[in-house]
């Protein structure tokens, strides 16, 4: 079995495992829900207040106490316990089995209504995560299809891997905007391993293997956001105006709010007309009600706004502060001074903060985006990239070029207009999607000329 076949098998097994986890989770939620329905029925039969939440909780507390204390008891013992209190053997034996299974599966967690709500929320998040992953794959299809079509044309044009073949291959790789240096590294590495007589399938295998090892293995793990549970995290968002900076910040706040984090947005761009209003529109109409916006007066010193905001965030135990900043890269000196002052203000509260300085770049700009990243790196220390409009470009190689040329990892990508269309960037998934079009027979219809 070749490299691609092994990789594909692992990816499919991983996806199957995730789907199995979701199904198992759904089964557990259904079990708990069924138990509560049966409990409510017994309460009604016993003339308790069926519509009283406190009565239901009290009833469950009494009847499940023994099971909670003894979670490993057999189904028979559970049946006996519930039957003893309910005095309704026929229907209660079934319920006893369900309760025993729930208690065991939830690791001693008492299956109360609060547990049910929590389980339901966790299930929705898992399902949403899977849907977002599938949407991200579709969003990156434009890059994948363009690349795959060009590779397929190459296979028809050449019968052997000679110097002309590799020149054309290099041109195809350059078109993806992954950067000249990396293109030459890939080409040279393949040429060392391939023979002129090798089949094109073998060349494709080598190309896939090179991409995988140069990017996924080399950069595994550094695409995760540096968020730490149990403390106040502070992220600064920087970028040129017009790249989707403010929109990305709003989407990032929603990303963490969905994880039950308490999020504060700080309007640190106090000079650009409409900057604060744009954030206000997001917070009041499109974001979670638990996300708050802190703003200063027009033309107020941004650092003073940040100082007051962080004080409030610490006092009220927020999990995350997201700071919007000005995008005036054309005036490097002033911007550098402003960002440096912001950094100093933040470090008064936490010497390790900000935990992230995220630069927002429009993916459709291709190599110009790399230049922007380089320019911003001279102004402030950038820890990660948010690439917007990845669903609208055939030049997705910029995601690889920025890391290769500047050492800055892409951490999040924008894949659409919706509030939840900001997802974690997974290098392996990206490369897999890039090459699947010409390696996987199931994609043949998508990449046909």
- Binding-site members for GTP are 239-246, 324-328, 388-391
Angle between helices 180-193 and 200-211 (to 10 degrees): 130
Rg (CA), the chain: 28
Residues 6+ apart with CB under 8 A from 219: 403, 409, 427
Q: Are strands 384-388 and 410-414 parallel, antiparallel or unpaired?
A: parallel
Report the distance separating Cα 183 and Cα 33, nearest Å. 55
Residue 60's closest CA among 80, 79, 86? 86
Report the distance separating Cα 370 and Cα 304, nearest Å. 32
CB 366 within 8 A of CB 338: no
Q: In angstroms, how far apart are the furthest CA atoms of the chain?
A: 87
Residue 95's closest CA among 33, 35, 31, 42? 35
- Region of 260 (left: φ > 0; alpha: ψ -120 to 50; beta: rest) is left
Residues 6+ apart with CB under 8 A from 134: none
CB 303 within 8 A of CB 267: no
Binding site residue list: 239-246, 324-328, 388-391
Phi and psi (nearest 5°) for 365?
A: -80, -10
Report the distance separating Cα 197 and Cα 422, nearest Å. 45
Strand partners, 146: none
């Amino acid at each position: 079995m070749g490299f691609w076949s092994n990789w594909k098998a692992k990816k499919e097994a991983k996806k199957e495992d995730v789907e199995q986890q979701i199904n198992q989770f759904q089964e557990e939620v259904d079990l708990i829900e069924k138990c509560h329905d049966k409990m409510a029925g017994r309460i009604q039969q016993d003339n308790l207040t069926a519509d009283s939440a406190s009565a239901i909780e009290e009833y469950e507390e009494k009847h499940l106490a023994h099971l909670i204390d003894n979670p490993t008891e057999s189904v028979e013992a559970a049946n006996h316990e519930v039957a003893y209190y309910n005095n309704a053997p026929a229907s209660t034996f079934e319920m006893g089995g369900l309760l025993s299974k729930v208690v065991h599966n939830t690791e001693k967690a008492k299956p109360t209504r609060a547990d049910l709500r929590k389980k339901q929320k966790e299930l929705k998040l898992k399902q949403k995560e899977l849907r977002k992953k599938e949407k991200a794959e579709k969003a990156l299809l434009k890059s994948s299809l363009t690349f795959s079509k060009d590779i397929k044309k190459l296979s028809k044009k050449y019968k052997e891997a000679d110097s002309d073949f590799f020149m054309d291959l290099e041109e195809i790789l350059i078109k993806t905007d992954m950067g000249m240096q990396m293109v030459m590294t890939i080409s040279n590495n393949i040429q060392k391993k391939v023979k002129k007589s090798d089949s094109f399938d073998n060349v494709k295998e080598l190309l896939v293997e090179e991409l995988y090892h140069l990017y996924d293995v080399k950069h595994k793990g550094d695409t995760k956001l540096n968020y730490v549970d149990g403390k106040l995290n502070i992220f600064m968002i920087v970028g040129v105006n017009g790249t989707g900076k403010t929109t990305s910040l709003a989407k990032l706040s929603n990303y963490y709010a969905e994880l039950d984090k308490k999020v504060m947005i700080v309007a640190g761009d106090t000079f650009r007309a409409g900057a604060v209003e744009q954030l206000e529109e997001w917070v009041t109409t499109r974001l979670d009600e638990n996300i708050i916006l802190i703003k200063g007066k027009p033309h107020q010193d941004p650092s003073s706004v940040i100082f007051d905001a962080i004080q409030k965030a610490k006092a009220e135990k927020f999990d995350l502060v997201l700071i919007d900043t000005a995008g005036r890269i054309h005036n490097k000196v002033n911007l550098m001074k402003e960002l440096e002052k912001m950094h100093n203000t933040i470090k008064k509260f936490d010497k390790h903060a900000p935990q992230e300085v995220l630069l927002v770049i429009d993916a459709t700009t291709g190599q110009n985006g790399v230049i922007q990243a380089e320019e911003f790196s001279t102004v402030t220390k950038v820890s990660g990239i948010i690439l917007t409009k990845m669903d609208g470009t055939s030049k997705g190689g910029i995601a690889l070029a920025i890391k290769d040329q500047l050492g800055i990892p892409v951490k999040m990508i924008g894949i659409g207009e919706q509030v939840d269309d900001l997802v974690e960037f997974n290098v392996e998934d990206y490369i897999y999607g890039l090459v699947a079009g010409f390696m996987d027979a199931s994609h043949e219809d998508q990449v046909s000329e």
